[in-house]
Structure 1
Amino acid sequence: MKNLYVLAFTLISLSALAQTTIQYPQRLANYDAIFFDSGGHFDNGADELGMWANGGGAKQSVAWRNFTENGLTDGTPSTMAVGDSFTITVAATQAFGQIGVALLSSPTSTSGWDDRQNNYAVQVNLNGNGGAYDPWEVVSNAGTVNTSSINGSTNYSDFKFEFILNTETTMSVSINDGAEVFNITLNNINITGYAIYFADDWNGSSNANIYWKPSTEYTYAMTLGVDDHQGPETEVMALYPNPTSNNFQFNRNTTSVEILDITGKSVESYKGTFPKNQVFDISSLKSGIYIIKAQNNSGGHLTTKLVKI
């Protein structure tokens, strides 16, 4: 259930590879919809969003935000792709009710407390449960709950969450820079944004706000608009199938094949004389994105992305 996993996505020094990180300013104006009942939201400082939830009503606050290419409400909508990551940090104590963030897949409504998890792909919640103060939980496919060992308290702490889409249906959720990592199956695919929420901010000794911090960012893992290939037109190399779960092949002969993980580390290599349609087994590799570099003795060269599912 809990696995250590390399979560840092760094720039790979390949000419065909690019990585873009977009900052998501934490300002009230950058959220597409809000809801509150005896709660509310406020800009705290230059780039921090505060939330509170106390008073005579249900004591609830929710804010929804769509992913966009520039991180702002006027940007082009963006759907999470394999290899993309989203990172968000909250400074909080604990709550009599709930603190949480959920990644959503085109929610059909953003008008009430229940909609905070409308069409959720994954949730991360710190549940107060009326004073029980349970630890952070990751909720995924069909309500599956993975419980961490990280609790809230009456003292403020930063809780950092990183979500990395490994395949169309699976994701790694890291808490506090890999202190705990959960590899989960999504409840819904095609993630379009997120919701943050807060209910009943009594933390056991006082009412305490929470603060969504300026470290919020979205990273597009890489862009390979076209494969980088060289050689005579009759010798253009291609890899198939892609995505794949167990193996891949080339449509041309190869003399060198190297497989690199997302950090640029070589995880497998082959040298020799391999005919076209030679099967290269990757069943032992973890699911995720890899870079394949191949060449042959006819001047053909290929650098391309491979998705292992």
Structure 2
Amino acid sequence: MTVVGDLTRLFLGGDSFERSSSVSLSDFVAVHGGTTKLLFDCLAFELGFQSGALRETATTASGSSGSGPLSFVSRLRQTFGGGTGSEDKSAGGSGGAYRFPVEKYLLRVADVNTHIPANIYLSMSSGGGSQHPFRLTERLTVVQGLRRAFQQAPASYKVLFDTDGDLHFSDYTRIAIGVADHLVVPLFPSFTDFHRVETFMEELFQMRQNGETDAKVQLMVWNNVDVHYNRPWLPVSRNVTPTKAAQTVIEKLNSLLAGVAAQYSTLFVQPIPDNASPVEASEHFSETSSMIMRTFGVTGMASADLGIPFACMQPGTLTGGAVEYHVSAEMLELLRANVRELADVL
């Protein structure tokens, strides 16, 4: 389930999708439905109304003099109430065996991009449209509906949310964090990103105080790191040793992040032990709550261009829109080992 749009573009076929398609990504999402429609229909369902009434409300709102995202939400509230009204159980509601049919809003990606495994489904975002605001009570209603929808679905899902949490805490991001059990926070080895994480932890703490989420941080991932050696750099990585410059920055930032983790101990799956010294706290955080993801180089460029996950690539030459990419078997195995390390933690 995506918010920003770059992962949607990759899954649908990368840059080559828009080169070869007669429709833009935003038009494709508009036709097939996306995250915004899913969230609003889930809200309407949980309030006890048929999605057809929601569409009628949307049509009326779009034809009014005050059309647009805000008027759409306002009309929804005027028609359906603030989320505390009586529920029509025959139309959904939040009781009994009724659940929002979330699977109807998911695109089986292999139907569009044959390079993607058949068990991957996507709620799309074009990345270009504005996000619609939700009140706190509305967010809680959607979170409740989505959690139940996935928990009671006929098939078993592992749900991943790709959010804009690194930019700002939009209502869509808050809903995603509300549904999630665990959080993975990617960051670059820079002090700018460290300050971003400090802000993130403050926002997450407040969300837990408001009863919006029970999610905890499982991992901080140092992303797009330049590699010096393909060998362990313990306790942070089992597979790669960064350059000396990156090592220095990561060691310092991990010690600072350990201080943040100690301050917000309830927010981490692996909290800092009580009475741990600064050195012990840093070692504990480095071993249990951080890891390194190497830069993907040419392989990553080919993946973004052609929409082929590197895990599904074969060694050889791939022809993109303007260049050829030479993908080696050795590099593919190194990348897979790095991602397996991440998967083992999750």
Higher helix share: 2
Shared fold per TM-score greater than 0.5:
no
Task: Using structure 1 for the length normalisation, give the TM-score.
Answer: 0.30
Task: Using structure 2 for the length normalisation, give the TM-score.
Answer: 0.27
Higher relative contact order (CA 8 A, sep 6+): 1
